Amino acid sequence: MAISKLIIMFIASVGSTIGYAIPVEAPKRSLIPAALSSGFAYFVYLKILDFNGSAAFGAFIAALIMGTLGEFLSRHYKMPATIFVLPQLITLVPGGGMYYTMSYLIQDNMESFVREGVNTFSIAVALSLGIAASSLFSRSLRAFKKRSVHNTKPMFHKY
């Protein structure tokens, strides 16, 4: 993909994230960090597609990046992670796939309906798994840090 198209898609991702975050009344100081991290994750998604990766795998990796950056930003700005993660996901939601799935169903084109439906569903599942994995990783990291701070006993000690 040409670099100019990647830049345009980055800007579109940033714009769509801000365009979603404003009507849902996300805090103003969260708009730019959420939008830039969304643009970065969408850039990674597009590069995975460039390397002939599947859309579901690209969506999983991008959602993992979005979730991880959202968790980091939530700690930095002392806000809930959902304020950062939900607007970011808008760029990856397979809205076109949902539209075409229903269009094929109405047209009674069952082969295309099933193909498009499975593809759309796999992207949606990949998005949810990516966000869940990043949240799980963040919580386990916090628990590990908490345990290591409170555990002052040496790991190996003599009895």
pLDDT of residue 26: 94
Determine the Cα–Cα distance for residues 126 and 121; give it in Å rounded to an integer: 8
Confidence of residue 158 (pLDDT cuts 50, 70, 90): low
Domain that holds residue 46: 3-147
38-86 pLDDT per residue, tens: 999 999 999 999 998 899 999 999 999 999 999 999 999 999 999 999 9
- Characterise 94 by phi-psi region: left (phi > 0), alpha (psi -120 to 50), beta (else): beta
- Asked if residue 76 belongs to a domain, the reply is yes
Residue 91 within any structural domain of the chain: yes
CA separation for the pair 142, 128 (Å, rounded): 21
pLDDT of residue 2: 87
Distance CA 153, CA 65 (A): 35
Query: Does residue 69 contact residue 83 with C-beta atoms inside 8 Å?
Result: no
Q: Which of 54, 56, 81, 59 is nearest to 70 (CA)?
A: 81
pLDDT tens track for 100-153: 999 999 999 999 999 999 999 999 999 999 999 999 988 888 777 777 766 656
If phi > 0 it is left, if psi is from -120 to 50 it is alpha, else beta; for residue 104 that is alpha
Residue at 103 is within a domain: yes
Number of domains within the chain: 1
Cβ distance 120 to 102 under 8 Å? Answer: no
Determine the pLDDT at residue 126: 97
Q: Domain for residue 157, yes or no?
A: no
Q: Look up the pTM and report it.
A: 0.86
Tokens of 87: 């607007």
pLDDT band at 8 (very low <50, low <70, confident <90, very high): very high
Residue 153 lies in a domain: no
- Beta-carbon neighbour count of residue 94 at 10 Å? 21
156 located within any domain? no
